[in-house]
Amino acid sequence: VTRSYSAPTIEAPDLDAAVRAMREHGLRVSAARRLVLEAIFAAGEPVTAEQVADGLGGQLPRSDITSVYRNLERLEEIGLVRHFHLGHGAGLYVRAGAPVREFLLCDACGEVRPVDPSELDRVRAVIRQDLGHEASFTHFPIAGLCRDCARAP
C-alpha cells in the first residue's frame, strides 16, 4: 500500500534557539550536527534519516547516514527532535516544538491522517477509565479503516 501524507502546518523554525539548547546540554555544534538540525527544521513534514542524509533531495549538502542517526539520537535526547513510525518502514523524524500530531492509518487505502492530540482526549480518557492505561499514539499510529474504506470494504 502506498502511503499518502498530509503535512501538518509547522511554525517557523527557530534554529538559533535550538543551537543554544545544544550548547546548554553540552553538545558541540559541529557542521554535521548543525546540518541535521537544519534539515529537520527545514523539512515541512516528518522525514526519514535517509532523506536527511540526502540533504532533503539536494536542498542541503549530503551527510553520512551514520552520523545522521547518531545526531538524530542526540537531538532527540535533548528534546529537539521526536521520531515515530507509520507502519513498517523507516522511522520518521520531526522537529520537536512543532505541533504534535498523532496519526490514523487506513490499512485499506493507506491514508495517513494526522490529528491534533486534543481530538484524542476522549479516547485517552476512555482507555484510562476502562483499562487504567495512559495511552499515547505519538510513536505508533492508530491503524484500522478510514471512514470511506469502512463504508465500502
List residues binding a copy of itself (CB under 8 A).
104, 106-107, 113, 115, 119-120, 122-123, 126-127, 130-137, 139-147, 150
Is residue 138 involved in binding DNA (CB under 7 A)? no
Contact 5, 45 (CB under 8 A): yes
SS3 call for 95: strand
SS3 call for 11: coil
Residue 142 interface partner, choices DNA, a copy of itself, none, CB cut-off 5-8 Å depending on type: a copy of itself
Amino acid at 9: T
Query: Could you identify the residue written with the cell 527545514?
Result: 42
Is residue 49 involved in binding DNA (CB under 7 A)? yes
Closest CB to DNA among residues 71, 98: 71
Residue 116 interface partner, choices a copy of itself, DNA, none, CB cut-off 5-8 Å depending on type: none
Amino acid at 25: H
Closest CB to DNA among residues 50, 116: 50
